[in-house]
Structure 1
Amino acid sequence: MDQLNAMMAGGMDISPYLTYSKAQWADLRQGMPMTLTLADLERLRSLNDPVSMTEVEMIYLPLSRLLSFYVEATQGLHQATQKFLGMRAQKMPFIIGLAGSVAVGKSTTARILKTLMARWPSSPKVDLVTTDGFLLPNAVLQAEGLMERKGFPESYDLPALLAFLSAIKAGQPAVRAPVYSHLVYDVVPGEEVVIDQPDILILEGLNVLQTSRLPKDGKAIPFVSDFFDFSIYIDAGEADLRAWYIQRFKRLRETAFRDPRSFFARYAQVSEPEAVKIATGLWERINLVNLSENILPTRPRADLILRKDSGHQVDQVMLRKL
């Protein structure tokens, strides 16, 4: 500890990350062409996420450029390994994990990155899957007393998620994943999305960087993150996340909750003060606990951290040192 304190006092940088301001990161775009239109952005943006074309230019274009280098290098390493083993090179999808709290903007970020990468000159095939589809059905969660733990690690069908990722990484064709409906707040029975040998797969979810306690016999099943070639964590202050969650709840109360099929339709008719009270309770009782216990502790495992300010804009980027 004395040596560590001496290193810190001496100004030695012991952080595993290189830290960039928004302006510094924007300089790394290096002429990466803008392939997104304003109409595209309007389509990709989630409710209550104010991401702008300027932010795409300053944050996501440089990130797209970085990812292009990582994909190329990983594919080269895979081909070299196959050559060494005397095996015929087969397709090895590049998998990106995207983690972060509820209301931080994961879905918008994932869709923007998917679109930008699919428009690279090489025209790679890019797919996006969320871990929501691997949540246990509500009937199972209710039977096991887990409805208020929805989104916590124990609420997912982990074996099914690991089997899916294993099949994708093995280059298998037509791998199926279940579909989740945010309207009915449940997995849709019999509905699936087919992922057919993508060049790049983005897996977005709250707990994709989660680990578990290691067994003493060394026979642990793999972590979800073991399948990742690159991982991103979207970070923000707790107070900001709370405010964004409540704001989004109020917006949904005026939109999706008004659909009689919505699981939350009962909230559409409450007054705004009551809606704020309900949203605050849900945040503090469920989402804040999940953030504190399960999501935030995985932040140091990410290869890249996008830190957002109170205006929901990325103001700092941290890239893990190689």
Structure 2
Amino acid sequence: MKFIILILATLSIMSIEQQVIADDNDNLQEIFSEYVEYGKRNYPEGATYDGDHRYDDKVTDNSEAGILARDDSTRNFLAKLTKINYDALSGDNRINYDLFKRSLEESLEFSRFKDYLMPIGQQNGIHLGAPQLVQFQPLSNAEEFNKYFARLRAIGTSVDNDIANMKKGMSLGIVMPSFIMEQTLPQMESIINKNPGESIFFSAMEKGKDLTPEQRESISNELKEIISQDINPAFQRLHDFVKNEYLPVCRQEAGVWSLPDGSDRYNLLVKYFTTLDLTFNDVHQTGLSEVARIEKEMNRIKDSIGFNGSVQEFNEFIKKDPKMFYTDKEDLMNGFRDILGKTDRARAS
């Protein structure tokens, strides 16, 4: 009887443990789902791009207050992770947990450098992002155009937020290199079109396949008005600010090291891209060592074939000597397979 009671008790405990394990895995998935929804709400343009059209009339809050609030949300998600029993997770979920935790922690590590105070560049910024909305925003009927218009009308506020952030960056020495910002001026000028009907934003009218003739005329007129009264003035403000106030105080050096806490920034970027606890000096020394190793190996190769000259001359010889090139497709593939075989054998050993 005691044995039966012990068995029943053991089975009960195992059932509870399995339930806890299931709960931790389920709870982790709930956190992931919550984070995905959070991302769509807070980065609505990304939601639209991903095919979720619940937020097609919203834009990302790029004010400093909005950005700092998202940092607080990141901390909250990290706090939720601490309530998960890591040991109770499945193998796959442990990997998911580790990656998610690392992503959140890196986001907070980078946030202390306030890169949001440099929101404009030749490859990023509202002057490049806003015109692309028309490419993935649904624009078939009047309701969809109204959502698009809500976003366009918000451009002025977003631009003013960028300017406010850049002004704060100027006071802290967190500014972009001048040669980059010089490239943004013609980009902004290309957006500002005195004829609204020729604006890149007016290309939305090429869509609207479900619009009636009356709706098309009304929406066309409204879009021209938004371009004239909201979009053009907003980008003119941004252009003039960059040209007259921002450019004169921009950095002359391009390197991250020229920013405040430049070495710390650089080291964090090294850690981010290598996933290793290395400094930028470690990476530099590795580069120098590898160059020396490769040059030594090249010297050995050129000497083995009796080439008289420097490594640089040997490199030129390799580039120009017809014997160094394959003339047959099959020979090329066989040579490629031979190299793969050698590397596979080296890895196996």
Work out whether the TM-score is over 0.5: no
TM bracket (short chain): under 0.3
TM-score, with normalisation over the residues of structure 2?
A: 0.23
Choose 1 or 2 for highest CA Rg: 2
* Structure of higher RCO (CA pairs closer than 8 Å, 6+ residues apart): 1
More helix by share: 2
